[in-house]
Amino acid sequence: MHVTSPVRTPLVTGGKTYADVTEDICKQVEGKPTRAWTIAFVISFVVLIYGTCCVFWTWWEGLGVWGLNKTVGWAWDITNFVWWVGIGHAGTLISAILLLFRMKYRTSINRAAEAMTIFAVLCAASFILMHMGRPWLAYWALPLPNTFGSLWVNFNSPLVWDVFAISTYFTVSLVFWYMGLVPDLATIRDRATSKVSRYIYGAFSLGWNGGAKTWARYEYISLILAGISTPLVLSVHTIVSMDFATSVIPGWHTTIFPPYFVAGAIFSGFAMVQNLMLITRVVFKLEDYITFEHIESMNKIILLTGSIVGVAYITEFFIAWYSGVEYERYAFLNRMMGPYWWAYWMMMSCNVISPQLFWSRRIRRSITWTFVLSVIVNIGMWFERFVIIVTSLHRDYLPSSWAMFTPTMFDIGDYIFSFGFFFTLFLLFAKFLPVINMFEVKAIIRSASERLPTSVSGVAKGESVTNPTFNKNVE
Amino acid sequence: MSVQHNDSAKFLVGVYDDDEVVLKAVTEVKSAGVRIHEVYSPFPIHGLDVALGHPRTRIGIAAFLFGLSGLLTMIALTYYTMGYDWPMIIGGKDHYAYPAYIPVMFELTVLFTALGMVGTFLVSNGLGPTVKPLMFDLRSTDNKFVMAIDLSKNKQSEAEIATVLRASGAAEVNVKQF
């Protein structure tokens, strides 16, 4: 039997039974949409429509509608791409790395965090398509025979690695997330009262019935999926960073990029998870499942990764000076004191200084502070990518080609598109799928609940204590 | 594996309230000489498959082989495209500059492992979108732990088995016929 030290803070409060867990989480799926959800959905959808119009115009007219010029050939597109991919990393970290480390607090947040990963990667991929200018030729990025249009792709190029990394990452995350959903979908199927939902959830739950042999294999494949997702998630942002690091642009040609990008990705991703979970928790009344302990644990990771990012910024600077390369030194001084100084200091204050407030336990356990700091972290991480991309490009070896970048309404509109897309998908997820992994929470109730009820199983919906003939098929 | 659909299959279903009770019950019921068909639970109970005597899954071997095939596929693809079909000198390196292909080899290894392993899992457990599950008790995906006994595979009478189930802690004993 598993015994947990009383020193550990409980992860599920309110003395929940197994039936309570099912009821609290399925209620959101089975009930009518709440007013808060409907309003949020309408807003996201309107934003998505506006953004879609902007994206459509970008494709119709070509990339000339963006503020790019001959000197700054990458700006908001790749900034947004890296930002969204980075956000996605937290979901995999929570579901895979925390599973390998047996961190129980993952159970209440992994479902929503993985959903966030999938939607964030879709947003990131949309910028890849956009920045191609001719998205109908996107298949040229795949290794197709020469007679198909272009030559074989160049496997020496990190951009080709990225095609493989992002598509593998998306597919594996989707599979991992969906496999996690299957047992919970079966729960919803078995509770369903309408024919339509029994049919839909029945099809998606793949005929799951929770037999011991199935569970044993299921746990085994979850472990392997976690084991392969862990190096995968690290490889994805490593490869994204190599899009820059393997070039010879001063400010990009940096060997520290892979670990620094991975830490930054987890940093911004956790901040996004905090924002999403803090809202979901209140709107869906999940305070017993997403407790202050969860919020604090995530804030500790934000503090750790934020500090790693801070050290990386300083190391970059030191190495630029220590290398003795004039151009490298200039690139970094230009970041700090050039015309984009405000973006640099925005990045420094949001990413390096603000997370240090999390050293205070009071701030780590404060909802307001957590929410505000998480927003600040994500603003900072967007500026980090902007600083790396735009300030390294806008002034290089040839002073006569120095230029500035100014976004147009389509740069902004295409970014807005990704927000509309992301929140529309997330809200649909929150309404139609269980936002908390019910079976994993049930599995930790015994060891991590605040107090155990006298009967741990509780009373299921439609089951009467005096007349236990809930099962319609009993003869 | 899922149950065969024969019309005569008649089961005795013990419904337990507690995961720890059902885990102990498995040993008790087995030592009473009753063959258990399967135990169904809303979440994985560690040690249950061992108590039931299920063999250790070999799905890891399948996963490894799928991973290996992904790796070999990518080695073949990069070799064919970069080294054989249209060799080019890029950056003054060999045509087949394999260290640069390690990232894509890794990605395809992971992709094949994940898809192949999950596919194997679905096939070996008989799961799919059109599969109708055999549910002995609908609460077994909610809050109850359900032990199914196939009466045709046991010599004891229905009443004897029901007594064993009740003695092992079952809160209810029902009959289920498919």
- Residue A42: inside a domain: yes
pLDDT reported for residue B2:
46
| Percent of chain B clearing pLDDT 70 (strictly above) | 96
- Residue A257: inside a domain: yes
pLDDT reported for residue A16:
87
Which structure tokens are listed for B103? 């990232």
- Domain count of the fold of chain A: 1
- Residue A457: inside a domain: no
pTM of the model: 0.92
Nearest CA among A213, A49, A112, A365 for reference residue B55: A213
pLDDT reported for residue A475:
36
**Is the CB of A231 inside 8 Å of chain B's CB atoms?**
yes
Q: What is the C-alpha R_g of chain A?
A: 24
Half-sphere exposure (Cβ direction) of A187: Cα atoms closer than 13 Å: 34
Look at B60 and A456 and tell me if their CB atoms are within 8 Å.
Answer: no
What residues of A are in contact with residue B65 (Cβ under 8 Å)? none
**Residue among A151, A191, A221, A446 with most chain B CBs within 10 A, to mutate:** A221
pLDDT reported for residue A7:
65
- Give tens-digit pLDDT for A84-106: 999 999 899 898 988 898 888 89
Long-range contacts: A141-146, Cβ < 8 Å, 24+? A143/B77, A143/B81, A146/B85, A146/B86
- Residue A464: inside a domain: no
Look at B107 and A232 and tell me if their CB atoms are within 8 Å.
Answer: yes
Is the separation of the CB atoms in A101 and A223 below 8 Å? Answer: no
- Cα–Cα dist A269/A114, whole Å: 11
- Give tens-digit pLDDT for B29-43: 999 888 999 999 999
Look at A471 and B142 and tell me if their CB atoms are within 8 Å.
Answer: no
- Cα–Cα dist A235/B102, whole Å: 11
Look at B41 and A212 and tell me if their CB atoms are within 8 Å.
Answer: yes
Residue of chain B with shortest Cα separation from A154: B82
Chain A, 351 to 380: residues with Cβ < 8 Å from chain B are none
Which structure tokens are listed for A200? 């839909």
Look at B48 and A215 and tell me if their CB atoms are within 8 Å.
Answer: yes
Q: What is the bridge-based pairing of β-strands B38-40 and B172-177?
A: unpaired
Is the separation of the CB atoms in A405 and A69 below 8 Å? Answer: yes
Q: Which of B57, B82, B172 minimises the CB distance to A216?
A: B57
CA angle A225, A228, A230 (to 5 degrees): 105
What residues of A are in contact with residue B144 (Cβ under 8 Å)? 457, 460
Nearest CA among A382, A350, A352, A393 for reference residue A251: A393
pLDDT reported for residue A458:
81
Q: Can you list the domains of chain B with their CATH numbers?
A: 10-56+135-177 (3.30.70), 59-124 (no CATH)
Look at A207 and B111 and tell me if their CB atoms are within 8 Å.
Answer: no
Is the separation of the CB atoms in A62 and A239 below 8 Å? Answer: no
Tell me which residues of chain A have a pLDDT lower than 70: 1-7, 149-150, 462-475
Which residues, at least 6 apart from A17, have a Cβ–Cβ distance to it below 8 Å? A445, A453, A455, A456, A457, A458, A459, B143
- Residue A354: inside a domain: yes
**Is the CB of A176 inside 8 Å of chain B's CB atoms?**
yes
**Is the CB of A221 inside 8 Å of chain B's CB atoms?**
yes
Look at A1 and B121 and tell me if their CB atoms are within 8 Å.
Answer: no
- Cα–Cα dist A275/A423, whole Å: 12
- Residue A467: inside a domain: no
- Residue A401: inside a domain: yes
Find the CATH number of the domain harbouring A369: 1.20.1630.10
- pLDDT at residue B1 tops 70: no
Q: Residue B149: enclosing H or E segment and its boundaries?
A: strand B145-150
A-B contacts at Cβ under 8 angstroms: 231
- Give tens-digit pLDDT for B100-133: 999 999 999 999 999 999 999 999 999 999 988 8
- Residue A453: inside a domain: no
At position A120, the amino acid (one-letter code) is A
pLDDT reported for residue A363:
94
Domain carrying residue A146: 18-448
**DSSP letter, residue B57:** P
Q: How far is B80 from chain A (nearest CA, A)?
A: 10
What residues of A are in contact with residue B122 (Cβ under 8 Å)? 206
